[in-house]
Every structure is written in structure tokens, then in C-alpha cells.
Structure 1
Amino acid sequence: MSDDSVGGDRPSPEEPSVSVRSLVSSAWSTLKTVYYANSPSWRVLKAGGLLFFGFFLWAGANVLYSYNPELTLLQYPMAYGFALIVYGPIHHLVVLPLAFRWRRSTGAKQDLGKRLPNGMLAAFLAFVIVLGTFPAGPMVVDFQSALGSNSPDVSPDLLCTKSTTQNGTSVHCHLSETDAVDRIEVRSGDSRLLVDDDPPYEFTVHDENIQTVAGEKRFTVRLQDEDGGMVRRYTRRLAIIDDG
């Protein structure tokens, strides 16, 4: 058998990379086809898909952030999902159809139609970065308060009022009932503000001691049983506490 016939049976070392490039090119072509599909059914399908994707991304990031508040990078997927809930449907139901219509025109409208989708996406991503860096209050939900309790029978209300004087703002809180509660711990950010072992667990905190978390001044109150286990957790935002 000649050397040429042996060498011809060997696979080319370039074939795997060519195959990968072909797959990537095919996937990118399919993605662009779906992105630019402009029939009413496709527009509704894409808008609905982005709405649900944004919601689940925002909710999932919120759950992780509730249990790991030190992972501030989670604020960016949270912001992306939060913004996508609103902008995703707008982009496919309004922006793209308008851009396609303007592209069939002439002059300035045609130029604007070519640039509108990319310009809106750039503005959207810039908004996500700003929102992730300086998160708005409605974007951050404390799921741990609802999911972290192991004792559903312990459900007192945490009643808080704030008052403002020339010395600053203070917040006074107490529990509506104290059954099965052995101690409370008040924290803000990484700091422990106070621990109270005596019913009725009334306490006062001052605004200078309340840290800014996720763009807002807030503190948490943890109710513990006699074994030290957490039975309930509350988060209060200074901005939405009623004046006393």
C-alpha cells in the first residue's frame, strides 16, 4: 500500500475546528432569523418568552440575593431580568416593527430605522448597568422573610414608626405578640445593631446606624426561639416606614 493511500485515510486535523465553526455559524444564523422574524405570531411569541425569562431571572436572582446579600454581583442579573420584563415585549412588539417600517422609507427615516434596534439595545444595556449599580427599591424583594421561616405558627407583626427631630430620624419598633419568641436580633448590612432578650422586645434604632443596602437604608429583625433557631425574619426599609 502506498504512503499516499495511508495518509488519505487519516482525518484532517482541521476538521473539528471547521465543524465547530459551522455549528456556531449555523446557530448564529438561526438566532438572527428568529430575532428578525416579524410576523404577528412570532412577535407575540418572542415578547412572551422574554417576559417569562425576565421574570424568572429576576425572581431567581432575588432569592439568591436574599440569602447571600454579600454577593452584590447578583444585582446585575436581577436588574437585567427586572428591566427585561418591561423592555423585552416593547422591543419586539414596538421597536422592531417600527424599525422595519422605517427601513422601507427613504432619507432620515431609513437611516434611523437601520440604527434604531441597536441603539435601543445599547440604551437598555446601559440602563441595566446603572440599575445594577444603584438598585431601585422595587427591584429588590426579600424572599427570605417569606421562605426562611421554619415555624409558621409564629407570626407576630413587627410594628414600626419613625420620627424626625433636629437630631435626626429614629425608628421605634415592637412585636404585636411574643409567644414562642425568646430573643430578637436587629442587623443592618454587616452590623449587629442590638440584641433583646426581654419581652415585649421594643427597640429604637437611629438612621445614622442604619446602613444602605441595595440602594436603600434598611434593617432586618430576626426572631429566635429558645434553641437559637430563627423562626421569623423581617426587613424594613426606612423610606417606607410610616411617621409616628
Structure 2
Amino acid sequence: MDNASESGAPSLAAGVASAVRGGWRSAKTVYYADSPSWRVLKSGALVFLGCFLWAGSNVLHSYVDWAVLDYTMAYGALVLVYGPIHHAVVIPLALRWRRSDGLRQRVGRRLPTAMLAVFLAAVLVVGTFAAGAMTVDFGTAIGGSEGATAAQPELACATEAGGETVACEVTNAERVDRVVVRTGGERLLEVTDPPYEFTVEASAVDTTMDREQFRVRLYDDRGTLVRQYTRRLSTVGMN
């Protein structure tokens, strides 16, 4: 019995290692596949993945305050743009240069890895300093029926005094106990009593990735995040 167990363990480990090596070889084969059909297939898959991650992260971000969503949103937005470029331009160029000699050959061997490193660094930067262009409020659009939409708190904002201030009001606020307004990681103000109306000075709004924006978080009486909105000064309507 013991001998059978001892002989079975190495064979299981060897089988797992063989499967991992086979999967890695298959992944590399697909990654470097350079036919037109493979380029289209890989680019299309990355566009789908990017849209899914970007939109899904935006939807979740309206309801939960998870920092990781900034990075999945950034990854989705960037892979949506860069993914097709990587497989339609970078990989074919790297393979062509690898068949030459000298400096081009050395660059061709390292180009895909270097570009992926740059891409991941960009994801970290954009995720840390989330760009306003990535943030879209899908919450209202997915409300479903009129009754479900009416039950959700909504935020309405408009600029006043020639754009020097932004006046906001939370409607359908039955579930709301506290409103917190933040910009650039700092708290601007907090409203704890209805009606949940507040005014934000445009000069107090920080600029993130060249966009002036602030974030409004709605909490219930248990301190749970109910909704979260991001408003950019450039898109807030005028009164």
C-alpha cells in the first residue's frame, strides 16, 4: 500500500507538470500566431474582454467601494485600445525583426515582453489615478423596471454662478442616511440630514488625469454604500 502511494505521488506530480508545460506551449503558440485570421481572432477576443471588464467594473463601482475595481476598469479600458495593436502590429513586427540580424534581432526578441511591461505599468498608473473618461454611470441604465429605478437614489447636479459652484441634490433618498463628497482622495463635505442638498466649489475640485471631477457616495444607516456617483465639471449641466 505504501509503495503504491509513494509511486503514485511522483506520477501525479509529473502529470501536472506535463499538463502545465503543454498548456504553456499551447499558449505561446497562440500568442505568436501571426496569420491574418489569428490576428483578427485575438484582437476581437481582447476587444470583448476589454469591454466586459470596463463596463462590468463601472457597474459594480456604482454600488460597491472596492479599490480593485479601479484597476480592472483601467485594464479593461487599456486592453480595449492596446490589445488589437499588440497582436496586429507589435507581434508581427517582432517576428519580422527576429528573422533579421544585429540590433533588430535583439529588439525583436524583447519587444513583446517590453510592450507588455509598459502596458501593465500603464494599468497601475491609470488604476491609481483613475481617469474620468473611464468612469461611466451605468447604474441608472440598469435599473430595470420603473419601480426598481424609482427605488434607487439619484443624484442631480447643475452648475451655478457661471460655473463657479455646482449645486447637487439627492432624490429618492429613503435609503440614504449620509452623503459624502470626495475629490482627489480628500473629503470635501458630508451631509447627514435631509434634504440631501449640497454645493461644491469648483475651485475645490481636484484635477485627475486632466479632468476636474468629484465623487459622491451615498450610505445607509448601517454605513453600507448604497450608490456612488462620479461627476465631472465639464459635463455638469448649467442652470
**Could you state the TM-score of these two structures normalised by the residue count of structure 1?**
0.72
Q: Residue 228 of structure 1 aligns with which residue?
A: none
Q: Secondary structure at the match of 2:51?
A: helix
Letter in 1 for 2:13: S
Q: Residue 21 of structure 1 aligns with which residue?
A: 17
Q: C-alpha offsets along residues 16-43 of structure 1, whole Å, 9 cap, x if unaligned? A: 1111101101110110111111111111
Letter in 1 for 2:88: L
Q: 1:139 to 1:181 in 2, by over 3 A?
A: closer
Letter in 1 for 2:76: G
1:138-217 to structure 2, matched below 5 A, reads 138-148=133-143, 150-152=147-149, 158=156, 160-163=158-161, 169-173=164-168, 187-189=180-182, 192-193=190-191, 195-197=193-195, 204-207=199-202, 217=213
Letter in 2 for 1:64: L
Q: After the TM superposition, which parts of structure 1 deviate over 6 Å for at least 4 consecutive aligned residues?
A: 153-157, 180-185, 208-215
Q: C-alpha offsets along residues 207-244 of structure 1, whole Å, 9 cap, x if unaligned? A: 5776889985324497xxxxxxxxx9865323433566
More displaced stretch, 201-210 vs 135-144:
201-210
Structure 1: gaps spanning 5 or more residues = 1-5, 223-231
Alpha carbons 2:205, 2:212 under 8 Å: kept: no
Alpha carbons 1:63, 1:144 under 8 Å: kept: yes
Q: Secondary structure at the match of 2:9?
A: coil
2:73 to 71, 74, 78: 78
Identity %: 45
**Could you state the TM-score of these two structures normalised by the residue count of structure 2?**
0.74
Letter in 2 for 1:161: T
Q: 1:162 to 1:194 in 2, by over 3 A?
A: farther
Q: Secondary structure at the match of 2:141?
A: helix
Q: 1:193 to 1:207 in 2, by over 3 A?
A: farther
Q: C-alpha offsets along residues 120-142 of structure 1, whole Å, 9 cap, x if unaligned? A: 11111110110110010011222
Q: 1:21 to 1:120 in 2, by over 3 A?
A: same
Q: Which has the larger radius of gyration?
A: 1
1:84-163 to structure 2, matched below 5 A, reads 84-148=79-143, 150-152=147-149, 158=156, 160-163=158-161
Q: Residue 51 of structure 2 aligns with which residue?
A: 55
Q: How far, CA to CA, are the matches of 1:78 and 1:195 in structure 2?
A: 33
The Cα of 1:76 is off from its aligned counterpart by: 1.0
Structure 2: gaps spanning 5 or more residues = 219-226
The Cα of 1:58 is off from its aligned counterpart by: 1.5
1:32-47 to structure 2, matched below 5 A, reads 32-47=28-43
Aligned residues: 222
Q: How far, CA to CA, are the matches of 2:55 and 2:174 in structure 1?
A: 32
Q: 1:64 to 1:151 in 2, by over 3 A?
A: closer
RMSD after superposition: 4.0
Q: Residue 224 of structure 2 aligns with which residue?
A: none
Q: Secondary structure at the match of 2:213?
A: strand
